Amino acid sequence: MSADTACRPEPDSENDVELADLVAAMNVAANRLTPPNGYRTGPPRTTRPRLSDRKLSLQERGSRMARQPTIETKRVSITDADDCVQLNQYKLKNEIGKGSYGVVKLAYDQDSEQYYAMKVVSKKRLMKQGGFLRRLPPSGSNVQQDPFPKAVLPLERVYKEIAILKKLDHHNVVKLVEVLDDPDEDGLHMAFELMTKGPVMEVPTDDPFTEEQARFYFRDVVLGIEYLHYHKIIHRDIKPSNLLLGDDGHVKIADFGVSNEFEGTDALLSSTAGTPAFMAPETMTEHEQSFSGKALDVWAMGVTLYCFVFGKCPFYDEYIVSLHNKIKNKAVEFPETPVISNELRELTERMLDKKPETRITIPEVKLHPWVTENGLNPLPLEEEHCTALEVTEEEVQNSVKLIPSLSAVILVKSMLRKRSFGNPFEDQGRRAERSMSLPGGLLTGTYGIMGSSPVPHPSLRKVSHEGSREGELEDLYEDEFTESND
């Protein structure tokens, strides 16, 4: 079956037209990528939503509706048709991107007659990538542990992400609709709301936002990040390609593949993750140290704001080492055109302060004159748009399903094939990779600016030193281990 083949709903011509429009949008969106060094190849984006077309957000309307709980399906029926894969009530169509730990496909829900973005990962491959049954740190240890330590298996990280996403309920954060996870099947499927308008901006672009447009979208980002920080979540990969436009014209934050939970007032991180052009200078020190998670998100928001108004990243170099040097040592420069206000320049400089201890904070950003239009348009108070959220240990345990039979089969098959009793899951070298992750919908893929090379230059990949993350899962259902007749 071709991965690009679209599986069409049966009934009427309206559905066919709607699907054709969606597929056309997918083909255009395939080039909406932001490489790690801040530059993209491919045809320019031809249309942009107008602010006059937008609807008022829930916050602006002054009301909130409780989100529908995430559906958890434990039994999955997978059928191969001539032109598609049937997954319960979903028809999986063409691939629309690659996300953290998997690929993303357009999915049509026959029951609700809605389209979703279906993220597909292979539990077997995730187990293989992370090693087999590594020992975790002692539970009684007094040493402060990273919420996602290197010893945690990638599969456990995915379930942790699911446990977080199931509870998130905010107008500026993408929603997880359904999780399909059959213990007897290798595939883990996550259905997200589909963001057909794609990323808010391509980088680079010769048509950046006006200050009014940039302010509107940036305010959405501020509210979304404040909500995440309120619930003790550090995003760690804020950039235009992870900011998706909803049907109402507002931004939703997507991709929690490298996010961190924390306790207390802030996360003290010692590992690097994210896209190099949007990473803060304190993460690029030669010796390992801890740094503020909230400050990392603020820096990435500053780079994103710069992209909004100038159409390019403030620091750019095609070589990753030179890029790091510029981020650490070079002062931010503002082009002569377009001309921006002094308030916007001052806010950008404070967000791109190379010293995290003096960098502006989210509460200060909310009150900044440029954001509030000199107090004429204040943002909602924290208590007005942040609802209670708590991911308990019990909920995480319920989310993580043990699959001893699957791991045993992998182990036995591998040993029989190799005639070896060594660890078949031992990492043979960790590859840094970039992932223009999805969860929401038309996110991105793993294309680099050097073309379609199957092994892109390290400067073109998302960087993560938290563990092995191989994102190229071309065939998620391929059994790598041959059956033995003995």
Cβ–Cβ < 8 Å for 415, 423: no
Answer yes or no: is 421 within a domain. no
pLDDT confidence tier of residue 99, bands split at 50, 70 and 90: low
Residue 102 token pair: 């998997």
**CA gap 197, 39 in Å, rounded:** 20
Q: Is the pLDDT of residue 40 over 70?
A: no
**CA gap 123, 227 in Å, rounded:** 30
Kindly report the backbone phi and psi dihedral angles of residue 117, in degrees, each rounded to the nearest multiple of 5, phi listed first.
Answer: -100, 115
Mean pLDDT for 274-278 is 93
Answer yes or no: is 236 within a domain. yes
pLDDT confidence tier of residue 478, bands split at 50, 70 and 90: very low
Answer yes or no: is 422 within a domain. no
Stretch among 37-41, 278-282, 369-373, 428-432 having the lowest mean pLDDT: 428-432
**How do residues 351-410 score in pLDDT, each as one tens digit?**
999 999 999 999 999 999 999 999 999 999 999 999 755 555 665 555 544 444 444 445
Q: Which one of the listed residues 109, 181, 237, 255 is annotated catalytic?
A: 237
Stretch among 103-107, 194-198, 433-437 having the lowest mean pLDDT: 433-437
**CA gap 50, 48 in Å, rounded:** 6
Angle, alpha carbons 157-391-186 (nearest 5°): 35
Answer yes or no: is 418 within a domain. no
Answer yes or no: is 404 within a domain. no
Answer yes or no: is 289 within a domain. yes
Burial class (CB in 10 A: 0-12, 13-18, 19+), 355: exposed
**CA gap 334, 44 in Å, rounded:** 23
Structural domains counted in the chain: 1
Mean pLDDT for 444-468 is 41
Mean pLDDT for 68-96 is 80
237 is catalytic: yes
Does the annotation list 119 as a binding residue? yes
Please tell me the predicted confidence (pLDDT) of residue 418: 52
**CA gap 123, 472 in Å, rounded:** 14
Answer yes or no: is 483 within a domain. no
Angle, alpha carbons 373-374-376 (nearest 5°): 65
Stretch among 44-58, 112-126, 306-320, 429-443 having the lowest mean pLDDT: 429-443
Answer yes or no: is 206 within a domain. yes
**How do residues 311-326 score in pLDDT, each as one tens digit?**
999 999 999 999 999 9
Among 283, 272, 274, 269, which residue's Cα sits nearest to residue 256? 274
pTM of the model: 0.67
What CATH number is attached to the domain comprising 239?
1.10.510.10
**CA gap 225, 361 in Å, rounded:** 11
The whole domain housing 454 covers 13-394+431-464
